[in-house]
Chains A and B, each alone.
Chain A
Amino acid sequence: MIVMKDVTKIYEMGGAQVFALNGVNLEVDDGDFLAVMGPSGSGKSTLLYTIGALLTPTKGNVTIDGKSIYKMKPRQRAEFRRENVGFIFQTFELLPYLTALENVMLPLYLSGVAISKHEDIAEEALRKVGLADRALHKPTELSGGEQQRVSIARGIVNNPHILLADEPTGNLDQKTGNEIIQFLHKLNDRDGLTIIMVTHDPDKARLSNMVLQMIDGRVVEDEEPTYRKRK
């Protein structure tokens, strides 16, 4: 379970204070699929990275499964990230000089998984996303949809229980984007993976079981609750 309590993130910009997150309180149960929506600069990605143990908040507390992640030392936090969190990005963020298979192996290398097991585990992850036959291709030789699927394989290869997706369909056409969303739902339904996805697309957000609307670093409260369970 992910719990955010009064989380504030302030950036100093030219002497002015910018509240990227402003007193956010949030609870996400295991197995939830949460879509985060809002205009540019509303703090969606900041929220995502704060949950992903990448961005230390200025104030407040983030606990995942009872562990206060920002009270950990940096190395412990990195280890926590390796074991519990997978990331997917809008621009895929694959390393261009590695093959698809090697990109998927990267989290295994960082986690210190026995090198003899790397290939089998990474191939299995690529098989899950339907890209086993493209394993030896470099990212530049893959389509956008294929690159995003490699990115998903990389995100899930360490069997994390949280997958954080920052506008995963933002660089894809409608059809490919839908395929990626369907695949994420499959991971959510089948593997019980907790998924938090930032998106601009209300249609894609609507498919998730929760939607969170953000404006100016706050979770917006309005007549129709924006954070609601659909299941």
Chain B
Amino acid sequence: MKLRAITMVLKNFSRRKARLILSSIGLILAIAVIVSTFTVAHSMQIQIGAEVEKYGPNIIVTPKSESISVPYGSVVVGNVTIPESSLEKIYTIPNRGNLRAVSPKIYGQVEYGNSSLLVVGMISEQEAKLKKWWNVGGSLPQNDTNQILLGSAVESFLRSSVGSTITINNMTLTIAGILSETGSVDDYSLFLPLHTAQKLLNLPGALSVIDVGALCQNCPVEVMSQQIMDAMPEVKATPIKQAVETRMKAIEQTANFSLLLGSIILAVGCAGIMNTMLASVHERMKEIGIFMSLGADDFHLYKIFILESLILGLIGGLIGCLVGLVSSTIMGPLLMKTMISLWETPLYIIPLCIALSIIVCIAASLYPAWRASKIDPVQALRTV
């Protein structure tokens, strides 16, 4: 049998379980709020990042133009075009490693009967990389062929099916595929291979826009946009991150608010622990007197009180982390409509929160420990 400070602290705890649990509640709650907030926010950021990566371009490259005429979705395309020959310059930018897809396109309008149709010339595989949500019945048009892909609305208008042909501007085009409804301007478009569209629109070697997808969660899209503009002085590269940024900002604000809430609870928990420790000093007055009569000095008393708070912090931190992780899996889908995957939560949050919990507990115990060390041993021994 060995007597260590830890033995005394644990034995003392075991006879004061109720007090231990009560004093830990504030701490557990605070750590749980911090952990769950972090987990939910992190999970949402990952999901948004994945969405950004999966869907659509991050940068839209358009010609430098003052006049605006053709709208395409949220992007406006001018009459001026980008020479296709300068496309290669995009691959010279310093951040070229982050380029996921570079989809050059030509837009134009063609007359078909009494209607006008929106024609989009594209390189199928590049466009498909950007628009992973596309669901194509049949196949995408092969490059440099007369194959076309119809948007769902165009298909209903033309009443054509895969394999049939249509003739536009004396050019016979074979329908290779039909796009399922996307809810975007794509439903009203007629997609052709880039060079075929350039021929149809009589704009050889011209591009209206280059959609660029960058390959990471937090790509330096502004930097990349500038790099593209530096490499291609004739274009304007616009980073599309406003929507993402707004959502990220909303998450950040929610996370910050929750962290603030967690900090307040932590401060209250800290005050609670200090209060418990002070009460404990008062309750254990006699015990402190006995220790002093046996030769304990302030160092011994500090050691015992700090060890107690360390254990309290460790237990509170561990339980808080556990409660936080479990509650985030319940609260995430309920409040934030986000599925929480605990596997994606960075593990460093656990030791970080436990360390925070321990530091707070130790800080809360310093004043009570100091008070204990200043107790008059004789008065303490005389307490009942």
Contacts and interface: CB of A to CB of B under 8 A. Distances in A.
Given A54-B378, A89-B381, A115 B295 contact: no
A101 interface: yes
Interface string B285-315: 0110111111111111000000000000000
B299 A75 contact: yes
Most buried by B among A54, A82, A83, A116: A54
Contact of B294 (A75, A101, A106): A106
12 contacts: A54-B293, A74-B298, A75-B297, A96-B15, A102-B7, A105-B1, A109-B3, A110-B295, A110-B300, A115-B4, A118-B1, A158-B295
B297 A79 contact: yes
A52 interface: yes
Nearest to B12: A97
A55 B379 CA distance: 10
Contacts of B289: 93
Given A95-B290, A110-B300, A118-B2, A79 B8 contact: no
Contacts of A97: 8, 11-12, 14-15
Nearest to A96: B15
Contact of A107 (B295, B297, B298): B295
B378 A106 contact: no
B295 A52 contact: no
A52 B378 CA distance: 10
Contacts, number: 84
Contacts of B3: 98, 102, 105-106, 108-109, 115, 118
A36 B320 CA distance: 57
Interface of B: 1-5, 7-8, 11-12, 14-15, 286-287, 289-300, 376-378, 381
A78 B297 contact: yes
Most buried by A among B2, B289, B291, B298: B2
Contact of A98 (B8, B292, B296, B378): B8
Interface of A: 45-46, 49, 52, 54-55, 74-75, 78-79, 81-83, 85, 87, 89, 93, 95-99, 101-102, 105-111, 115-116, 118-119, 154, 158
B298 A75 contact: yes
A102 B1 contact: yes
Contacts of B296: 78, 110
A103 B296 CA distance: 14
B293 A109 contact: no
Contacts of A93: 286, 289-290, 293, 381
Contact of B1 (A46, A79, A119): A119
Given A97-B15, A98-B8, A109-B3, 13 more contacts: A78-B292, A78-B295, A83-B295, A93-B381, A95-B287, A97-B14, A98-B3, A107-B294, A108-B3, A109-B5, A110-B291, A118-B2, A119-B2
Given A52-B293, A75-B297, A154-B294, A101 B11 contact: no
Nearest to B287: A95
A82 B294 contact: yes
B133 to A, nearest CB: 66
A79 B299 CA distance: 12
Contacts of A116: 2
A82 B292 CA distance: 9
Contacts of B4: 109, 115
Contacts of B376: 55
B381 A98 contact: no
Nearest to B13: A97
A9 to B, nearest CB: 10
Contacts of A106: 3, 291, 294
A166 B212 CA distance: 89
Nearest to A116: B2
A134 B254 CA distance: 61
Contacts of A78: 292, 295-297
